[in-house]
Structure 1
């Protein structure tokens, strides 16, 4: 059972923070039906990333890579924002969360009401032709077995494949914000994958209160986390939002 005092403590820290960020990972989208790609039932258990998830593999054999992408697209198409996504959207709406840095590609933060989302690994809601540069929304290409550009080339989802660089503007902005943050929420991620793993330490060095929401303790919990809220994100985030509203209510 989550200690109510910890929720209140976290809400107080966020309510008094002039700049609050969130770092999210696969764990926030698992309740929406999207398994962590690295988990036992994730995509990498069935598709070797070296064969299906590198930019060189896509360039050399896009038809093969789309075998994996079709399965990914089916997962993403069915997924809906859960209470954690909606809660974070609400936190932004009431002025308690300024930006989200996410490692996810599922567009669920935006669907949940968040407007300022920094995406490290891109977003599968759109596709681009590597030959001519034309861009399409996923909905525009819905129903196509292998989405193809007007020029005849096979489209690539706007996600970062292995071998591609994380967008420079996403990195620069996230590092800048982390160095100015007064509170950082770490939600549904163990933050072990580079470069997202640097965000908590940057924020901590700058004096931010690090609030972690995960089902299990991580390496962060034992090192830099100030407040650890243990539990399912779809249960904890709404409790935190409620506590924030009470904290900000006129007295």
Structure 2
């Protein structure tokens, strides 16, 4: 891990790509791990826009633990170390496949949410916007939140299967990845496109790739360093860089 530390310290433009694996330490299940949510729910249904439009109760019933109790979840050492490294000017951007909002809660500012965010919700009929807190309140009273203006179906501003990613968001992520001399992938199996291809932009522009994930990824052979244990890596970085984060967790 000393080599990873040296890579980070010597980089001039370090960017991060995070997946669901980084949030398991905060009590949020990942997707494809041994206890992942895909073992409990059908991914082709819970995040399918067609199924959502047909039967939104499936999403709202099965996502209460995954999304709508996030106010009780706290950032872990990974989120906090990344936020501190951004504050110190070492990490330039965090690109995330996650929709748990924990990077922002930890203090990261330049966060690119590739798959959207439940911070805002939208009525599919009239376009009225609702906050995360608004919808949590509605779900305490009803199975599916409906618009109080027109009675339309409310959907989180999250990209479901069958929907296009926001063009501006993916363009910004490609720009950051292309500019980076070091991209570190954390807790992602790198199988969901187009996020999975972002490290290739770094490699194509002469940058280097590090992967920290407890499962194999398609880009493992391209990584200059590869680690399995996220918690171990970030405790090491915290201690060796004198961040002092572990002392306050």
Normalising by the smaller structure, the TM-score range is 0.7 to 0.9
The Cα shift of 1:22 comes to 0.4
Q: Write the mapping of 1:78-157 to structure 2, written as runs, cut at 5 A.
A: 78-145=72-139, 146-151=144-149, 152-157=151-156
SS in 1 for 2:91: coil
1:67-101, Cα deviation, whole Å (9 max, x unpaired): 22334234534321111011101110111100011
The equivalent of 1:4 in structure 2 is none
Aligned match of 1:226 in 224, 228, 237? 224
The Cα shift of 1:155 comes to 1.2
Taking the aligned partners of 2:58 and 2:240, their CA distance within structure 1 comes to 49
The equivalent of 2:234 in structure 1 is 237
TM-score by length of 2: 0.86
SS in 1 for 2:70: helix
TM-score by length of 1: 0.86
The Cα shift of 1:122 comes to 1.1
SS in 2 for 1:166: coil
For structure 1, the 5+ residue unaligned runs are 1-6, 247-251
The Cα shift of 1:167 comes to 1.3
For structure 2, the 5+ residue unaligned runs are 244-249
Where does structure 1 differ by over 4 angstroms across 4 or more consecutive aligned residues?
none
Tell me whether 235-244 or 156-165 shows the greater mean CA deviation: 235-244
Taking the aligned partners of 2:186 and 2:96, their CA distance within structure 1 comes to 10
Q: Write the mapping of 1:17-36 to structure 2, written as runs, cut at 5 A.
A: 17-36=11-30
